[in-house]
Structure 1
Amino acid sequence: MDSFNDYNQTPRPVRKKFAKPPVKVACLPCRASRTRCGGQMPCSNCVNKDKECSYLPSKRGGPRKKKEKSSLSPEREQTDDPYAAVPSPEFEEQPGMFHQIDELSLPGAGLRHLDFQSEMPIFQGFFTGDGNESHMQVPPIPPSLNSTQSFVRTYGSEAEILNAYYDFIHNYFPILPPRASPPCRDRPLNCPVPCSDSSEPMMMYRPRSPLSLAISAVLALIPHPSDLDPASAASILQRRTYAHSFAQLANSTIEAECDLDLSSTDPGQALSATRPFVGRERFHSQTPVDYESLLALLVLSVYEYSQRGNLLKMRYRAGQALAIALDKSLHAQVVNDEFAEARRRAWWMTYYCVIQGSIVSTTMPAIVINDPQFTTPYPSFASDTEGWSILIQAQQVLVSATQFIGDLNKCLASQSGMYYMFERMQQLDSWTSSVLAQVELLPLVPQSSDFGDHNESITAQTIRSIARIKLSSAQIKTHRFRAFSDIPIFLKRHCDLTAANQNNPNSPLPKPPGIHNISCTCSNLDTFQRAASSEYMTPSDSSTSSDIHPDMTHYAPQYTQYPFASGFPYSTQQSAKICLEAALVISRMFHSLPVPQPLSDARQRRQPLPRTMPSFACCLMQSSYAMFMIYYKARVAKQLSPDAGNERGGDSTGQLIEELRQGLERIIAAVSNYSLAFEALDGMRDEIEGAYKTAFPMAPPV
């Protein structure tokens, strides 16, 4: 026993873990053996083991760098990449463009995520798969910029926050009934805030409701009218800090209001107790207080996507709102009283956000989209009785098109079930066209209606535009494989697909030497064979249909297709035409969305105001992706027909390229407007702009 005590009392040297911090770059032998490197040249490990010590810079971490032009000689480029042998020297740099185009179609493409300081593979492939895309990191704010002062958009009362909600949010995200009082002048607090890294910034007024807190998180991202340099790093940091503080306060308030008093003192009786009573005043006079936590979660869901770039939290917040909505039976409400419109909007906006989370993350919806238990009537606009119905139908079409892409990928991988996919494609296209026809119809306005609030009629128009954007995005998702699978470089470089197998004699072009599995982490189709199978064929072949657009027939170079290609219900030209028209419509609809116009003096109007709540920004990426692919087809057609400039076909090719350029400029302008407030969309803007500058190097800045 004494020896045991003596052993315990014997002082032992304390080993400090990482007393000396690890070096930033380890040598190659140490990295290979997972041994801690000293960082010298040569390092002590290599000296002791008599190994050659060499270093290469690490590629991990740091901001994403723009792709650089290849420095290889023309002879080397032709040897390594047979697809670069296009019959025109003008097209030598196009493979570089495809590196940029690939990423535009991925879920969460371009999003910067502020919640992760290192590269994390959180985005899945466009179809299915594990995706390992790295995204931009948030650059640190230099300490020298923290000594100045900036302005952040905050408000001094619940009424002013509610008024700002209608000015900046309601038109794009109508979670509340129409205004209950006339609009007031927008009056954010005109107090400069000291710049600091504090996680708890000073607030002149703390909102009382979780909904007003969540709305304040979005409003804080909008540049303050008195901020002379809203694009400065210091201003961006302060807006980010205040916004996230409001969001965290909203979450904590939601948790507090969902707690049962007996949970901490008598858990056995907690479940049988009544729901906690919320005694504060309503944020909106026609919305019950106990709906405010649900509505706050919907706002936070969009905040997590567009500001934090966090798809997981986006879906989580929407899922929390869904749980509250189902608990309150909002999905089956038929009572008509003063709160009927609030209940309807609360339910259908919850439904909308849950489906949106599924769309942007390419995951299965948490609900059955056409569940017969969802019997709550749609909300209503006095100026457009069908607006809400069209929006929900568009959401259903888009999520179905997203699921179609995943199922198509599985069928290609298993080489089975293509006949079923052909039928699905026709059904989706027919469904989309049916809802599009409803969108194009003028709203049925009751003759005796009195709109009262002009803002609400603008909201109705915006809802129709958003529905049109979603339906056009669904068209691109439905037709993009058929439209672009005739491009060999598309099959080689596109993350969703794969190149032809090098052992198959039917492949249009052989794989370059030394490359055996051309694929990426977005999918695992590198073993896909072009084996003929009767299952791939359909009784009819509409690829020779006479209704192909005359201006699109010469934009699709004819290469060897898959053996089941003739079974598609649409020709390559037809699908390409649909993608083109849909992409241009998306660019026009985003351009037509209203810009906030709060009541303010001329001084406050000197800076552009951003649109808000861009939960459907992924449609921007779909549009730009389709336009770049059509641009490629047009460029190839133009180069394969050098004398086409003297004919009508050459003129139309130039007109098409010009129309694509203008469409891409509208897309860049739209995402740039959003990124005035939402940092996660900076990456989207940079991705599209980078591809645009590659495609149109001589074009003036957008």
Structure 2
Amino acid sequence: MDPGAAAEAYNDSSKGDPQSKPARPSRKKFAVPPVKLACLECRASRTRCDGKTECSKCINKGKTCVYTQSKRGGSRIRRRRVSTESGEGSPKFNNTDLNQCVLSVLPELEEGTFAAPLSLVAPGGGLKQLDFSLDDTQFILDSIFANNPEGLDSGYETPGHTGTLSDAGQREVPIRVYSSDEDILGAYYTFIHPFFPILPAPEPGQVTDNHDIGIRRAPDAILVSKSAPDFEPSSPLSLAISASLVLIPSPDDKDPSGTESLHLRREQAQAFAQSAFESIEIESELIESGIQPGEALSSDPLPLSRKPFHSKNPLENESIIALIMLSTYEYAQRGNVTKMRNRAGQAINAAINLGLHGKGDEDGYYSEANRRVWWMAYIIVCQGSILSNSTPPILLYDPRFTTTGPTFAGDPGAWAVFLQSQQAITSATQFAIDLDATLRQGSDTTAIWDRMLELEAILEPLTVAADTWTLATTPHLGVDSSEKVVGQALRGIARIKLNSARIKLHRYCAFSDVPVFSKKHCDLPPTPKISTTLPTSSAPKAPPCGCSSTFHTLPSPSDMTTQSSPSGTLCLNYTVLPYTSHYSANICLKSAFAIAMSFAALPYPVARSSSKHRSQSQIQTQDHTHPQGPTQIQPEFSFSSPIPLAYPPRMIPIFACCAMQSSYVLIMLSYKTRAMGFATTNGDVGGKDSAAQRMLGQLGESLKMVTEALKNYSIAYEALGGMSDQIDIALRSVSAAAAEVGEARW
């Protein structure tokens, strides 16, 4: 963000007549402060404007000088705070020999125990909502301006005004920033590209993480590099990428999960994201719209003249990529699915306007870049419809989409299976929507019956093929020009999505969507809110679980011997769905195990940095563990934290909802096994080598894999922290409910 734009956003906070203020200290960078009234041409080119009726830059370039009032910022009312808030290797198991006897005795749902139809497709992802609020940022602003004399203007880089949060008595929080566009691009290839390859393959030596410590130049909202304080990302793409990178804690942060660190990273990310979106709007602005609207319809936006962020990516694609990156940010960090879909919709519309969807097998210098931009826009739009449980705004198999898929030299077949998995889970979501509508309206069920058979015929061979993939990677394998690790990640994500699609298809038949989570998660319904008054002498109980009331008539193990095998009994609503409850539960169990193991096998980012850019914590550790060389590998993410973070966070987790699908199945089967009496009230299982003990152990290990993956994502993305919390709450709830049911039966 340029100094002119920053001044425009903050200078309105000055009070009184500038002429009556005390003499200002000498400025380091500018002889005069930036003007508030920068013209459109200077804004678009990000150059300083002298604020005259016809500025000198427009006169020199022969441009029409036009000023329109900026919609950014506004007057800031300075206030003093009375008080400040004080902050505060995966297990392995073999599931190939699942005991079929255990599955065969799992109790069936009976229609009488299912009180009412539960929503299959309630909108929302169950994420922590972190929508930007001025209240959240007040402590940051107070820390910046606390020591500023009321009578002095806030100019750029004045000696008396530079500082960090430590100036206001706060802990100095090291924030990850970068000193050039090249360093931002290298960090993108390190942290983002393995999981979201929207840019072309990297060149040799391009995958580096040369991060720096951020410092604040009052009154800028964005921290800048300590080694290059004059650099700020300015293009839409560099700003959008920075919004995600700044969420990754610095290795020098001693308390990355503390309140101060979380808040500062959150505010910096939002500042980058807002600046990125404003830059996109500026680049599409028409000067004629402000002075001669009648001429605007026959005019085109000014051609872009800045340097491309990536040499192999067309300049006009950068705004599309920025919108896609902002879409992932809105979901994973802010938990705002609506904004995610809005940004994704803008991106795919822009891509279609450029004709990226109809390139066929075109070959050229930018062909690979165009393919990646188009298909990642397609992926993010489909994912937005899944997270909102709605029909996608595009046709999955539109014949106009002729552009061939991207190419990954290290794994040429990775993209095809990745795209198939996205289309499969989108189709399964649409099936859930149609099933819910059929149950609510009581309409003809023939189409639902046939559609489930059709989807199962598609999904079964795909999941069987996915089980043959080898997803394990070398511990320190990073991204290179062959993108082998990218192919591994895409296959892992594809396996997760395929098995999640199969769970969506069979979940209702297996469990009738009995709720176990207290909040909405994707299309999983929340538990009903029960308000009861407990006697004062009663012991505290676990949060309410919908399964405790639904399965209150579960038979005891002794009763199971007199009953026929559930495999011959159709599931609830047998006139709607063609599979038995036991068959669907078996499929859900295997898919849940596959999802858990696939999350555990996903590669982690490998942070490499030049020795001259290494942080202090990296120097202290690497100099004792690695030989000297031009490039060093960072084996641990944070060495100075009280609880070391063994790995940096995986990024762009737009498929994290699949973890909740897996967790739902694992929790439900754990509950049913315990509630049937295989476990005692204290959770112990009779018989050291019993099948139930082995099954409960596998269920617990799988849940651990899923929660560890979600906790790794939440290192950077706050909204995803709500998912792992919900799994813990649900597990406690069903354990308590199972104990109550077991005691009642015995």
TM-score by length of 2: 0.63
Task: Give the counterpart of 2:690 among 642, 651, 669.
Answer: 651
| Equivalent in the alignment of 2:596 | 587
| Equivalent in the alignment of 1:28 | none
User: Does the 8 Å contact 1:306/1:615 carry over to 2?
Assistant: yes
Task: Give the counterpart of 1:636 among 657, 665, 675.
Answer: 675
1:422: how far off? 1.2
Deviation per CA, 1:528-559: give whole Å up to 9, x if none.
xxxxxxxxxxxxxxxxxxxxxxxxx9997999
CA distance in structure 1 between the partners assigned to 2:726 and 2:605 by the alignment: 26
1:689 counterpart = 2:715? no
1:452: how far off? 9.9
CA distance in structure 2 between the partners assigned to 1:239 and 1:641 by the alignment: 46
User: Does the 8 Å contact 1:109/1:684 carry over to 2?
Assistant: no
User: Does the 8 Å contact 1:185/1:598 carry over to 2?
Assistant: yes
Task: Give the counterpart of 2:489 among 459, 462, 465.
Answer: 462
Specify the code of the residue in structure 2 equivalent to 1:358: S
CA distance in structure 1 between the partners assigned to 2:173 and 2:515 by the alignment: 52
1:560: how far off? 9.7
CA distance in structure 2 between the partners assigned to 1:235 and 1:583 by the alignment: 35
1:184: how far off? 5.1
User: Does the 8 Å contact 2:120/2:433 carry over to 1?
Assistant: no
5 Å-filtered alignment, 1:14-93, equals: none
| Equivalent in the alignment of 1:677 | 716
| Equivalent in the alignment of 2:583 | 574
CA distance in structure 2 between the partners assigned to 1:441 and 1:623 by the alignment: 20
Gaps of 5+ in 1: 1-97, 119-136, 444-450, 500-552, 698-702
**Alignment coverage as a number of residue pairs:** 513
1:587: how far off? 1.0
Deviation per CA, 1:492-518: give whole Å up to 9, x if none.
x9985999xxxxxxxxxxxxxxxxxxx
Q: 1:155 to 1:117 in 2, by over 3 A?
A: closer
User: Does the 8 Å contact 2:176/2:245 carry over to 1?
Assistant: yes
CA distance in structure 2 between the partners assigned to 1:346 and 1:181 by the alignment: 22
5 Å-filtered alignment, 1:552-631, equals: 562=572, 564-565=573-574, 568-600=577-609, 601=618, 602=621, 605=636, 606=639, 607=645, 608-631=647-670
1:465: how far off? 0.7
CA distance in structure 2 between the partners assigned to 1:182 and 1:269 by the alignment: 49
5 Å-filtered alignment, 1:271-670, equals: 271-334=297-360, 335-440=362-467, 453=480, 456-485=483-512, 496=525, 562=572, 564-565=573-574, 568-600=577-609, 601=618, 602=621, 605=636, 606=639, 607=645, 608-639=647-678, 651-670=690-709
1:442: how far off? 5.7
User: Does the 8 Å contact 1:314/1:357 carry over to 2?
Assistant: yes
Task: Give the counterpart of 2:221 among 182, 191, 200.
Answer: 200
1:337: how far off? 0.3
Matched residue of 2:711: which SS?
helix
Q: 1:139 to 1:413 in 2, by over 3 A?
A: farther
Matched residue of 1:565: which SS?
coil
1:270: how far off? 2.6
1:230 counterpart = 2:269? no
| Equivalent in the alignment of 2:31 | none
| Equivalent in the alignment of 2:190 | 167
CA distance in structure 2 between the partners assigned to 1:438 and 1:276 by the alignment: 50
User: Does the 8 Å contact 2:194/2:479 carry over to 1?
Assistant: no
Q: 1:117 to 1:157 in 2, by over 3 A?
A: closer
Deviation per CA, 1:319-367: give whole Å up to 9, x if none.
1101110100100013210100000001000000011100000111110
CA distance in structure 2 between the partners assigned to 1:161 and 1:368 by the alignment: 35
Q: 1:337 to 1:571 in 2, by over 3 A?
A: same
1:630: how far off? 1.2
Q: 1:351 to 1:252 in 2, by over 3 A?
A: same
Deviation per CA, 1:632-668: give whole Å up to 9, x if none.
22123335999x97789x8111111111111111111
Matched residue of 2:690: which SS?
helix
Q: 1:329 to 1:161 in 2, by over 3 A?
A: same
Q: 1:108 to 1:592 in 2, by over 3 A?
A: farther
Specify the code of the residue in structure 1 equivalent to 2:660: M
Specify the code of the residue in structure 2 equivalent to 1:388: W
Specify the code of the residue in structure 2 equivalent to 1:631: S
State which drifts further: 592-601 or 573-582.
592-601
1:474: how far off? 0.6
Task: Give the counterpart of 1:209 among 235, 238, 251.
Answer: 235
1:282: how far off? 1.4
User: Does the 8 Å contact 2:479/2:486 carry over to 1?
Assistant: no
1:201: how far off? 3.3
CA distance in structure 1 between the partners assigned to 2:416 and 2:353 by the alignment: 24
User: Does the 8 Å contact 2:119/2:525 carry over to 1?
Assistant: no
Matched residue of 1:623: which SS?
helix
| Equivalent in the alignment of 2:210 | 187
CA distance in structure 1 between the partners assigned to 2:695 and 2:196 by the alignment: 35
Q: 1:106 to 1:663 in 2, by over 3 A?
A: farther
| Equivalent in the alignment of 1:152 | 175
1:275: how far off? 4.2
Task: Give the counterpart of 2:130 among 97, 109, 114.
Answer: 114
Specify the code of the residue in structure 1 equivalent to 2:384: G
1:470: how far off? 0.7
User: Does the 8 Å contact 1:556/1:633 carry over to 2?
Assistant: no
Specify the code of the residue in structure 2 equivalent to 1:357: G
Specify the code of the residue in structure 2 equivalent to 1:658: G
User: Does the 8 Å contact 2:357/2:374 carry over to 1?
Assistant: yes
Q: 1:385 to 1:262 in 2, by over 3 A?
A: same
Matched residue of 1:599: which SS?
strand
User: Does the 8 Å contact 2:500/2:595 carry over to 1?
Assistant: yes
TM-score by length of 1: 0.67
1:199: how far off? 8.2
Gaps of 5+ in 2: 1-113, 144-164, 471-477, 529-562, 610-617, 623-633, 640-644, 737-746
1:686: how far off? 1.0
Q: 1:676 to 1:452 in 2, by over 3 A?
A: closer
Specify the code of the residue in structure 1 equivalent to 2:730: A
Specify the code of the residue in structure 2 equivalent to 1:458: V
1:193: how far off? 5.0
Deviation per CA, 1:57-83: give whole Å up to 9, x if none.
xxxxxxxxxxxxxxxxxxxxxxxxxxx
CA distance in structure 2 between the partners assigned to 1:689 and 1:199 by the alignment: 40
Specify the code of the residue in structure 2 equivalent to 1:316: N
1:410: how far off? 1.2
CA distance in structure 1 between the partners assigned to 2:515 and 2:182 by the alignment: 59
CA distance in structure 1 between the partners assigned to 2:433 and 2:713 by the alignment: 29
User: Does the 8 Å contact 2:678/2:692 carry over to 1?
Assistant: no
CA distance in structure 1 between the partners assigned to 2:416 and 2:179 by the alignment: 37
| Equivalent in the alignment of 2:16 | none
User: Does the 8 Å contact 1:469/1:619 carry over to 2?
Assistant: yes
1:673: how far off? 0.5
1:216: how far off? 0.4
User: Does the 8 Å contact 1:590/1:667 carry over to 2?
Assistant: yes
Matched residue of 1:150: which SS?
coil
User: Does the 8 Å contact 1:211/1:293 carry over to 2?
Assistant: yes
User: Does the 8 Å contact 1:199/1:241 carry over to 2?
Assistant: no
1:416: how far off? 2.4
1:481: how far off? 0.6
CA distance in structure 2 between the partners assigned to 1:246 and 1:387 by the alignment: 32
1:103: how far off? 11
Specify the code of the residue in structure 1 equivalent to 2:390: T
| Equivalent in the alignment of 1:263 | 289
Matched residue of 1:160: which SS?
helix
Identity of aligned residues (%): 40
